[in-house]
Structure 1
Amino acid sequence: MQRPPTTVTLVCSAVLLLAACGGNEDTERPSTPAGVTARAGSATSVHVMWNQSSDNKGVTGYEVYEQGDKVMSLPATQQMVDIDRLTPRTVYSFTVRARDAAGNLSEPSAAISVTTPEATPDDRKAPTRPANLSGRAQGSRAVTLTWARSTDDIRVTAYDIYQEDSRIHSVSGTQTSARVTGLRPGTVYTFTVRARDAAENSSPDSPALDLTTASAPGEGPSTAPTGLTATARKGTIELSWTPPDSGAPVKEHQLFLNGALATTIVWGAEPPTGTATYTMTVTDEPGTRYSIKLRAKLPDGKWGDFSAQRTVVVV
C-alpha cells in the first residue's frame, strides 16, 4: 500500500537555529589589530607581530597581507609570524586583519614598512652562542627573557626564541630581550635562544631555561616531574628526575623522544622514592640529537603535565 507523503514542519528554534532563520546574524567586525611591528630577521625573512583583537562573539584568526595580497592565515592564538622566501634589499609593507567565526574581517591595521638587508652569500660563519639566558614568568600566560649579546663576523640580524625546539618568536639583532605571550597557566616551558645573521647562519643554542607560568585560579599544583637531567654515555642516555607529589607512589612514566612517545617506564609494587632514574640504550650514530621529556601517571589514572624538555647529543 502506498504511504501518503510525510509533511515536515520546520520551526525556528530561538537557541539552535537563530542564525539560520534570519535572526541576530553576526555582522559586527572584530577590532582592528593594533601595535603591528615588522622586523627583518634575515635577507629573506621578516617577523611580524601585533596585539590581540576583540570581537562581540570571539576572534577566530588573523590574516597577514603584503601590499594588499594575503600571505598568511593564522589561528586566534597566534599574534606573530615569520614571513619567509622574501627578496634581499627589498621594501615590504605589511598589514594585519582579524577574522571572526562569521567570516567578518576587521579593517586593515596600519601599514608597516620594512626593508630586508643585503644578502651575504659568501658568509658561512655563524654568530656566537647567546649566553646568560635568564627570565621570569609574568602571570599565567607570559614570560620575559633576557640574554647576552652574540657576535658575528658581519652582523647579527635577529635572535630566535625556541620552545621545545620550535621557533616561536624573533626579535631584531639589536635586542637582547623578548616577551613571549599566549602561554598556558601552570605549565613548565623550556626556552633557548639562537642568534642569526643575514645569510641565515644560526648560532648554537643558548643554555636552556625552564620557566613555569602561574596556575590559574582554582587550579592545584603542577603535576609535572621536576629536575629532569639527561646525560649521554657511550651507547646510553642516563635520566634522572623527581616524580610529582601526587599523594601516592607514581608507578608509571611516559618517555617522549623528539615529541613522540618512545616507551612507558613501569616500576613494580615499590616505585623509587625521591629521585627516579632510568637508562635507555641508543644505537644511533654519534651526533644524533634527542629531545627528551616525561610525564607521570597520576593516582586517578590520568597522565599529568609534561616535565621540562632536555636536549642531549649521542656520543
Structure 2
Amino acid sequence: MSTLSLPNSNLIKKALAGFLLATLAIMALFLFESKASAHGYVSNPSSRADLCAKGTNKNCGLIIYEPYSLEAAKGFPAAGPADGKIASANGLFAPLDEQSATRWTKVNISAGPTTFNWTLKVPHATASWKYYITKQNWDPNAPLTRASFDLTPFCNVAYKGQPSNSYSDTCNVPSRTGYQVILAVWEISDTGNAFYNVIDVNFSGGSGNADTTAPTAPASVSASNVASTSATLSWNAATDNVGVTNYRIFNGSTQIASTSALTYNLTGLASNTAYNITVKAVDAAGNVSPASNAASFTTQAVSGSDTQAPAAPTTLHVMGTSTSTTIPLMWNASTDNVAVTGYQVFKGSTLIATVSGSTVAYTVSGLTANTAYSFTVKAVDAAGNVSAASNVVNVTTPSAPAAYPAWNASTSYVGGSKVSYNNVNYEAKWWTQGETPGNADVWKVLP
C-alpha cells in the first residue's frame, strides 16, 4: 500500500501566519485612512509627526497615517495635553512622547525670523496661533512637560476667521543653542479643541542680524462699493527697512482678514451695521506697524421681502472622537444675503436638531453602538428660507466598550486590573492605590 506524503506542517503554519499578518496590515491601513478626521499640521519646518509620515522618523506608530490629527483641549498651558503627553496631544499616538536627545530627527534652524507653514486638511474658524520653545537648560532625555518650556509664547497671533488649506506665520525665534523643541498650537474658536505640533530643531548659531524695525503704518485706507454684506478696501503701501510681507485688517481691535495685496474685498458682513476698519503692515521678521487711519462705513440695509435662501453649509465632518452613542459634527458657516439664523441637523432624512446661526458644531447623542449613520446640515435665514443640504457624512459608531468596575480611591489594584473612570476604561500597569486614572502614569487607556 502506498503512503500519502503531506507537506511539512510547520511550513504550512508559517505561510498561514504570514498571510494573516499581511491581511491585517492592509486592513489597518484602510481603517486608519477611512477614519482620519483630517485637520492640520506644521509642514515647514517639519514637525515630528510630519517627519514620521515622510518616513524620516522611524517607529512612530499610527501617526504615519494621519499627522494632522494631534488634537486635544485648548488653553495651554493651563489646559491642554497632560505633562508627558504633549507631543502626542494626550497619548492617542503614544510613540510621539518617547523623548531622548537622539530619538528624533532635528531640523536646522537659526534665531530670528522664521516662517512656520501649516497644511490644513480641514480648515476651521480660528482663535489664535501660538508658538512656545523649550528653555535653554531643559532636559532632552526626560518627557516633555510644561517645566520644559518657556510658557510665554514667543509668537502669539490673534486671528478671526477661517484660513485656507495653507497658512503661515513669520515669527522671531528666540536665541538658543543645540537641540530644542518648539511647540506650535492652532486654537480653534468655536470648539474646545486645539491642534498641538512639536518641532525638533537644532540651533546652528546665535541670533545673527535680526530685524527689529517695524514697517510704517499703511496710509489712506478707504472703503468703496459698500453693499449690504460686502465692501472693498484699499490703501497705500507701507515701507520697511527690509520689506513688507503682508497686511492685517482689523474691525475695531479684532483682526478679520489678512492679505499681501493693497486691496481686499470684505464679504460676509452684517447688513445695516457700522464698521471701523484699520490696517497694519507686517514684515518677514514679524514686526507689526502702527495702525493706519480708520475707514468707517455702514453697510446698506436690505429692503423688501427676503426670498433668497442661504448657501449650503460646506465641509461637514466629524470633529473629535466618536463614542458608541455620540458623534461630534462640525461644518463651515453658510452665507446669506441678510443673515443665517440657524442650522438644521438631519440624520438620514429626519430632522434631529436645530442650532443657532452662530453655532457650527453639534454632538449627536442617543445613538446605537456599531451602527452606520448618515448626516447632513441645512442653513436657515430669518425669512424661513432653507438652503440645500451640505455634503453627506457617513459614520459608523464604534462598538460599546467593555464594562469594568468603577475606580475606587480606597481599593488596591495590581498590574492588569481594569477599571472605568469618567466613562473611560483603564488598565493598571503595576500595583496602585489612590492614583486617579488619567492623571497618573500607572494607568493606561484601554482601546
- What TM-score do you get using the length of structure 2 for normalisation? 0.25
Instruction: Answer 1 or 2: which has greater strand percent.
Output: 1
Asked which structure has the greater RCO (Cα within 8 Å, sep 6+), the reply is 1
Instruction: Answer 1 or 2: which has greater helix percent.
Output: 2
